[in-house]
Amino acid sequence: MFNRNRCLRQTAAIASISTLVAGCGVLSSDSSDSTGPITVGTTSAPSTLDPAASWDQSWELFRNIYQTLLSYPVGATTPQPDAADNCRFTDSSNTTYRCELRRGLKFSDGHALDAAAVKYSIDRIRKINLNGGPAGLLGSLDRVQALGDTEVVFHLNQPDATFPFVLATPAMSIVDPQKYPAAALRKDDKVDGSGPYTLQSYEDGKKAELVRNGNYKGYADRKNDAVTIRYYRESAPMVADLRKGTLDVAFRGLDADDIVDLQKHDANGKLQINEGAGIEINYLVFNPKDRWAGNTAVRKAVAQLVDRGAIAHKVYKDTVEPLYSMVPKGLTGHTTDFFDDFGSPSVTKARRILTDVGIKQRVPLTLWYTTDRYGSSTGLEFAELKRQLESSGLFTVTLKSRPWKTYVTGYQKGEYPVFGRGWFPDFPDPDNFIAPFVGDQNALGTPYPEPEITGRLLPESRRQSDRADVVQEFERAQQVLVRDARLLPLWQGKQYVAASDDISGAEQALDPSTIMMMWQLYRKTSW
């Protein structure tokens, strides 16, 4: 139920979402009855409909239309069976993982979903091997074996206690082998999955219409029959539609000003805003191939100048908080290493960092950001970064931006000297805030070979089934990241879901990776 107290769950780093507005009244009984599809607004439009191409917030849609072997039922903080009936490691070394499928699984087109389809789906990701794509999640996988119709065995090349979390990510969605090419991405705007919903229609960048999948067999208890997701470029029109009543729920991409305004004015009790502590992070990426961004001293000078507190307060109105490590608060291994090493912003220290390596001129840097992914405040954030760097007298900053779809292509090709990214975790474990960003193939499309992390620290941590025992490895990994300054954490976000007051389920709709489970939403039927 709704309450005003916020409580962080350490294992999943997600709070029980609390209601900040008064007058919510008594909740009704659960019901899937509705007067039409529930409409959900977000600024996170998919970049693709093919799971083999996505390591981004396309997963928001995937979770609802595809199925994975494991997933997160309401209240779960560790992966539980979905398409699988059961899964487990069958050896003490965490190198052989076996799943048995539910009986009678079908794709939405009626084709059988069997062990061969699971093997095909995982092998396909690795065969396509898209730069910046989800193949980077499968570094510990040696081979997949299908035994009969219902048994799948994953043979790992090293112990990996996080492998069940990987299987629970929407990147590992199971696709119909008859509809998805084995070595190429699917080109049309169609989806053949086995998730709670089918994709009835799709308009790229505009909307996705979901209807109940009659063939679905899994854990999701669908409380509605249909959901329409509308994609916005900015927060303001999304909130305007929410206030007009043409939108039921607004999630991801809400501007700080809109959040603050919704908290203060609840449209005469007709709206609610639910807040939860989250593990979303925002950071800068430096391209090592660029003349200036590739210079460690330049990167450290930027780290010495950035005022995270000013960004959190001036731009985001304290709806986010400063972050000084890549692992956010609430997860094992969180540190404040960037603050410990650099302290408060200092022009004097930054100048010394540059002059010590012979840089005495203003350093020209081009910073890139996306215009339509993380909310309208992103442009203001980068304007503040430009102001901070240039006011030091040490940098000349050029800002450039692109819509998300072309932005992704740009950073995957290595076109940007410095660029901004947000990270909504694949799974709630410190591994997922380190591993995706290092190695020759990573989520950023910018190779970062760091043998101490990839060759020792990550393998050692993955031997530990008890994830509370990996503090030492991740603390050391973050010291390496500070030393290299290839990634610069800026802030950690909270999660906000705004909804009309006749909508229930928002407080339970976010899984531990902050992906919205649309089937949890429903309209109240009584007061």
Q: Structure tokens of 243?
A: 């206030």
Give the 3-state secondary structure of residue 467.
helix
Q: Nearest to residue 316, comparing CAs of 426, 232, 430, 422? A: 422
Tell the residue number behind the tokens 């309450």, with chain if given.
3
Q: What is the pLDDT of residues 468-484, one digit of tens each?
A: 899 999 999 999 999 99
Q: Structure tokens of 163?
A: 């492998």
Q: CA-CA distances (angstroms) from residue 163 to 89, 170, 315?
A: 10, 14, 38
Inter-residue contact 183 to 128 (CB < 8 Å): yes
Quick count: other Cβ atoms within 10 Å of Cβ 180?
Answer: 20
pLDDT at residue 405 in the model: 85
Q: Structure tokens of 265?
A: 């004015």
pLDDT at residue 8 in the model: 27
pLDDT at residue 266 in the model: 63
Phi and psi (nearest 5°) for 273? -125, 125
Could you tell me whether strands 487-500 and 7-9 are parallel, antiparallel, or unpaired per DSSP bridges? Answer: unpaired
CA distance 18 to 255: 19
Please state the pTM of the whole predicted model.
0.80
Mean pLDDT, residues 312-337: 94
Q: CA-CA distances (angstroms) from residue 151 to 49, 169, 300, 399?
A: 27, 20, 50, 52
Inter-residue contact 169 to 443 (CB < 8 Å): no
Q: What is the pLDDT of residues 74-85, one digit of tens each?
A: 888 889 999 999
Q: Nearest to residue 367, comparing CAs of 439, 280, 298? A: 298
Q: Nearest to residue 251, comparing CAs of 264, 232, 268, 279? A: 232
Residue 426 — very low, low, confident or very high, per pLDDT cuts 50/70/90? confident
Mean pLDDT, residues 435-441: 90
Residue 506 burial by Cβ neighbours in a 10 Å radius (0-12, 13-18, 19+): buried
- Quick one: which H or E segment has residue 39? strand 38-42
Q: Nearest to residue 425, comparing CAs of 379, 477, 375, 492? A: 492
Tell the residue number behind the tokens 């102001």, with chain if given.
387
CA distance 240 to 88: 47
Tell the residue number behind the tokens 């789906």, with chain if given.
121
Q: Is the dihedral of CA 19, 25, 29, 33 positive or negative?
A: negative
Inter-residue contact 399 to 382 (CB < 8 Å): yes
Q: Is the pLDDT of residue 160 over 50?
A: yes
CA distance 454 to 268: 54
Residue 527 burial by Cβ neighbours in a 10 Å radius (0-12, 13-18, 19+): exposed
Mean pLDDT, residues 96-106: 97
Q: What is the pLDDT of residues 204-240, one digit of tens each?
A: 999 999 999 999 999 999 999 999 999 998 899 999 9
Tell the residue number behind the tokens 């997701």, with chain if given.
229
Residue 107 burial by Cβ neighbours in a 10 Å radius (0-12, 13-18, 19+): buried
Q: What is the pLDDT of residues 30-66, one digit of tens each?
A: 444 446 899 999 998 998 999 999 888 899 999 999 9
How wide is the angle at C-alpha 410 spanned by C-alphas 406 and 412, nearest 5°? Answer: 115
HSE on the CB side for 12, CA within 13 Å? 21
Residue 305 — very low, low, confident or very high, per pLDDT cuts 50/70/90? very high
Higher per-residue pLDDT: 150 or 267: 150
Inter-residue contact 431 to 458 (CB < 8 Å): yes
Inter-residue contact 339 to 324 (CB < 8 Å): yes
Inter-residue contact 170 to 63 (CB < 8 Å): yes
Average pLDDT of every residue of the chain:
90
For 248-259, give one letter per residue: b (16+ CB within 10 A) or e.
bbbbbbbbbbbb
Q: Is the pLDDT of residue 502 over 60?
A: yes
Is the backbone of residue 383 left (phi > 0), alpha (psi -120 to 50) or beta? alpha
CA distance 115 to 338: 46
The number of residues making up the chain comes to: 527
Mean pLDDT, residues 490-506: 92
Mean pLDDT, residues 419-426: 90
Q: Is the pLDDT of residue 28 over 70?
A: no
